[in-house]
Structure 1
Amino acid sequence: MRVLLVDDHPLILSALQSVIQGLGDDVVVTGVATGRAAREALLERQGDFDLVLLDLQLGDANGFDLLADLRQSYPALPVVVISASDRSSDVIRAIDMGAMGFVPKRASNDTLCEALRLVMAGSVYVPPMSMGLDSGRDEEVPLRSPRPASGGVASQGAYQTQPSLASLGLTPRQTDVLALLLQGKPNKLIARELNLSVETVKDHVAAVLRALGVNSRTQAVLAVSQITQQHGSFSTWRSPGPPPRH
């Protein structure tokens, strides 16, 4: 696995490199300190990276701006945000912009390694606290717990006892739609990948949001992240569907 690590703090850059390289003998980490260096590394070695770890506070660039550039130029390349911030507004913004994970720098080494494993397995990682309050620092972004398979209404903030994805009662096609939704793909692209009409995809997306008990795609990503942290990665649970068409 080839990882591009972007952080402008030398000590943190070195520490993160050591932790990530500890994931396996086949892990190669390239560390850069600026947004410009990150862009140059990606241009010089197009297709040579499997994952990008991105700090939001860079001396020469805004991390969110760089994230937007990465998602536009390299849509298939997973990006995980590593940040000193753990505000829910930053987590939600990063996921909404296409990041596959958000790991606060205060997290343990084990948490970082588990987050990277989840992302490389096709899941999304967000810190558990992002589902709740930010101690009044930001506007609340409440998420309801997914509805149990029995149809009962789960209570607010019941993420300690998340149901499994399998218990949500999604059909195989809804599961396929959810998998592509988690990759940030719009309805038109999902329709093309699954050979469905856009209207049918909209119906499936609405059904998935209802099953998860959320109101938006970003909330769905956050909810699935919480579920997979308790019950295993989404890619190991989802039913097999037709291979994506490229």
Structure 2
Amino acid sequence: MKVLLIDDHPLILAALQSVIQGLGDHVKVTAADSGRTAREALVNDPQHQLVLLDLQLGDADGFDLLVEFRTRYPALPIVVISASDRPSDVIRAIDLGAMGFVPKRASNETLFEALQQVLSGGVYVPPMNMGEAGFGADGMSGVQGQAVQAGYQTAPSLADLSLTPRQTDVLNLLLKGQPNKLIARELGLSVETVKDHVAAVLRALGVNSRTQAVIAVSQILRRQGGVVDPMMALR
């Protein structure tokens, strides 16, 4: 497996490379200290299977680079590694197509867990305060809103959402970042039917967007203290 690390701090690059090598002897790591060298690396070797991207680069804005790479290489998973852990940055990164967001203050074990989750097809987001993420108790409905209002005294499970099997399938693919057209193709449904299922899932979670759904599911599972991979919990 080929991994591209993009960060303009040599010490951070070295530390990340050490963690990535822990994924196995089959891992080959390429380091890029700028947006320019990252572009060249992907052009010269399009076989990279994972990108770790810092948001603060000397010659490029990380969000702009994220959009550029997601457009050019739509099948390439990108995980943002950032000194910021602001919910607004997490939401923006996931909205723009990142498959994960890991604060640099996170432990090596957390980074390793995040990468394993992304490589297995899931989306990783760090623990966040739901209110700070833009959908606190006052603006939520359903079991997630009830849990926030109760201070997570009785955190709901995904089973409490009472999703139908087909809605669960849609949520499964939604958590992989699949657009409605691809969900429809994979499940053999019309796009309009998928839209209806997505709307039902968002209502059940008490959120207003796909990104909020990803974050809400992740937070539900963390509050349970069990599995933090939404993909595993939905199987």
Give the shorter-chain TM-score range.
Answer: 0.7 to 0.9
Looking at structure 2, the residues matched to 210 and 95 of structure 1 have their Cα atoms a distance apart, in angstroms, of 20
The residue type equivalent to 2:167 in the other structure is Q
Alignment check: 8 A CA contact 2:141 2:207 kept: yes
Looking at structure 1, the residues matched to 157 and 20 of structure 2 have their Cα atoms a distance apart, in angstroms, of 29
Bigger shift: residues 65-74 or 170-179? 170-179
Shift of 1:77: 1.3
Q: CA RMSD in A?
A: 2.4
Alignment of 1:236 with 2:232, yes or no, is: yes
Q: Please give the secondary structure, in 2, of the residue aligned with 1:81.
A: strand
Normalising to structure 2: TM-score of the pair?
A: 0.87
Distance 1:121 1:227, change over 3 A: farther
Looking at structure 2, the residues matched to 216 and 3 of structure 1 have their Cα atoms a distance apart, in angstroms, of 30
Shift of 1:147: 3.8
Distance 1:143 1:176, change over 3 A: farther
Alignment of 1:201 with 2:194, yes or no, is: yes
Q: CA offsets per residue over residues 204-224 of structure 1, 9 Å max, x none?
A: 001111221211111001112
Alignment check: 8 A CA contact 1:123 1:225 kept: no
Looking at structure 1, the residues matched to 171 and 163 of structure 2 have their Cα atoms a distance apart, in angstroms, of 9
Distance 1:69 1:51, change over 3 A: same
Alignment check: 8 A CA contact 2:143 2:206 kept: no
Looking at structure 1, the residues matched to 124 and 59 of structure 2 have their Cα atoms a distance apart, in angstroms, of 27
Q: Superposition pairs for residues 64-213 of structure 1, below 5 Å? A: 64-129=63-128, 131-133=130-132, 141-144=134-137, 147-148=142-143, 153-156=146-149, 158=151, 162-213=155-206
Alignment of 1:219 with 2:218, yes or no, is: no
Q: Please give the secondary structure, in 2, of the residue aligned with 1:30.
A: strand
Q: Please give the secondary structure, in 1, of the residue aligned with 2:15.
A: helix
The residue type equivalent to 1:235 in the other structure is M
Q: Please give the secondary structure, in 1, of the residue aligned with 2:31.
A: strand
Q: CA offsets per residue over residues 170-224 of structure 1, 9 Å max, x none?
A: 2222122112222333323322332211221111001111221211111001112
Q: Please give the secondary structure, in 2, of the residue aligned with 1:128.
A: coil
Shift of 1:31: 1.1
Shift of 1:92: 0.7
Q: Structure 1 unaligned segments of length 5 or more: list them.
A: 134-139, 240-246
Q: Superposition pairs for residues 27-42 of structure 1, below 5 Å? A: 27-42=27-42
Q: Please give the secondary structure, in 1, of the residue aligned with 2:81.
A: strand
Aligned pair count reads 230
Distance 1:26 1:203, change over 3 A: same
Alignment check: 8 A CA contact 1:95 1:101 kept: yes
Distance 1:30 1:158, change over 3 A: farther
Query: Identity over the aligned pairs, expressed in percent?
Result: 70
Looking at structure 2, the residues matched to 161 and 75 of structure 1 have their Cα atoms a distance apart, in angstroms, of 39
